[in-house]
């Protein structure tokens, strides 16, 4: 069950751990970006097909610690308004994930990640007034994306902020939603061959390494300027998306 750690070697394992801490700190400070950036880094090491199942386990641990750290700011009304309509869609798309080829998965991940940039900038330029029906509609789209990819939470940003959440409440509530998403994904993947014991333990390792990153991120949550964060995230997002497009090209055999 630990064969993958032997195959990767100590240097690569250390690099994976450092990447997990860094991306978790970024995610802990902003509520977004860390998951799909870590996915891009990990996919380059273990391949495309197992990356979403492994990251589902890792993010299950990461988001549980983030929920505990920010539980005082959790908004249960927004949480239920999103998770109830999103969960059936997550189940369906997670099941479809197992039917996809590596090239299709890489293309899907790259597209979702790259679209996060204009979506986030669009959200920042508009003040959306969100109703419960609007949240439910966004949740269906989120669920359809999140069962088979990492980074679908970007869809929820403008609508959650439009519901009047503070920055702290947004981070806490999105973490709780993501926790539920990863419980659902891990349950579905656990019934298939996509998540065997070695990938399960790799996911646990990555998840545990995100905990110190979450602590670091929480400490800088109120200090990080939006402009500085936006620049860093955009650059890393483009690199991550291009990496997946390159992996899709290689997997297609063309």
> Position of tokens 């890393």?
236
Which helix (DSSP H) or strand (DSSP E) does residue 245 occupy? helix 226-252
pLDDT of 221 over the 70 cut? no
pLDDT in tens, 140-170: 989 998 888 887 777 787 788 777 787 778 8
Mean pLDDT comparison of 130-134, 207-211, 250-254, highest-scoring range: 207-211
Mean pLDDT of 65-78: 83
Give me the number of domains the chain comprises: 1
Q: What backbone phi and psi angles, to 5 degrees, belong to 151? A: 110, 0
Percent of the chain with pLDDT over 90: 24
pLDDT-wise least confident of 57-66, 110-119, 215-224: 215-224
Q: Are 73 and 174 within 8 A, CB to CB?
A: no
Q: Given pLDDT bands bounded at 50, 70 and 90, which one contains residue 123?
A: low
- Top pLDDT among 88 and 61 is at 88
Q: Are 66 and 175 within 8 A, CB to CB?
A: yes
pLDDT-wise least confident of 24-33, 52-61, 224-233, 240-249: 224-233
CA dihedral 93, 98, 99, 102 (to 10 degrees): 110
Taking only Cα atoms into account, the Rg of the chain, rounded to an integer number of angstroms, comes to: 17
| Structural domain containing residue 31 | 3-252
Residue 248: predicted pLDDT: 81
Residue 14: predicted pLDDT: 93
pLDDT-wise least confident of 88-97, 211-220, 227-236: 227-236
Q: Given pLDDT bands bounded at 50, 70 and 90, which one contains residue 92?
A: very high
Q: How many angstroms separate the CA atoms of 70 and 161, rounded? A: 17
Mean pLDDT comparison of 16-20, 37-41, 216-220, highest-scoring range: 16-20
Q: Are 113 and 237 within 8 A, CB to CB?
A: yes
Residue 187: predicted pLDDT: 92
Residue 29: predicted pLDDT: 65
Q: What backbone phi and psi angles, to 5 degrees, belong to 195? A: -120, 85
Residue 223: predicted pLDDT: 63
Q: What count of other Cβ atoms lies within 10 Å of the Cβ of residue 56?
A: 29
Q: What are 214's two structure tokens?
A: 């979450």
Instruction: Please give the mean pLDDT across all residues of the chain.
Output: 82
């Amino acid at each position: 069950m630990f064969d993958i750690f032997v195959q990767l070697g100590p240097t690569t394992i250390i690099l994976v751990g450092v990447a997990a801490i860094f991306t978790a700190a970024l995610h802990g400070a902003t509520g977004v970006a860390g998951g799909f950036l870590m996915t891009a880094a990990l996919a380059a090491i273990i391949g495309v097909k197992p990356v979403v199942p492994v990251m589902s386990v890792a993010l299950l641990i990461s988001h549980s610690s983030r929920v505990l750290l920010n539980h005082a700011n959790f908004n249960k009304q927004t949480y239920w308004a999103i998770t109830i309509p999103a969960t059936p869609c997550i189940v369906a798309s997670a099941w479809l994930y197992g039917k996809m080829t590596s090239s299709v998965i890489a293309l899907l991940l790259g597209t979702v990640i790259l679209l996060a940039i204009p979506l986030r900038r669009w959200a920042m330029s508009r003040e959306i007034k969100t109703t419960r029906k609007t949240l439910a509609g966004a949740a269906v789209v989120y669920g359809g994306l999140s069962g088979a990819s990492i980074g679908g939470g970007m869809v929820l940003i403008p609508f959650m902020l439009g519901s009047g959440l503070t920055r702290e409440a947004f981070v806490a509530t999105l973490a709780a939603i993501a926790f539920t998403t990863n419980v659902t994904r891990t349950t579905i993947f656990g019934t298939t061959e996509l998540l065997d014991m070695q990938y399960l333990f790799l996911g646990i390792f990555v998840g545990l390494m995100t905990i110190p990153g979450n602590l670091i991120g929480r400490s800088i949550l109120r200090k990080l300027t939006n402009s500085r964060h936006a620049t860093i995230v955009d650059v890393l997002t483009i690199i991550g998306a291009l990496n997946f497009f390159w992996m899709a090209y290689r997997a297609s055999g063309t």
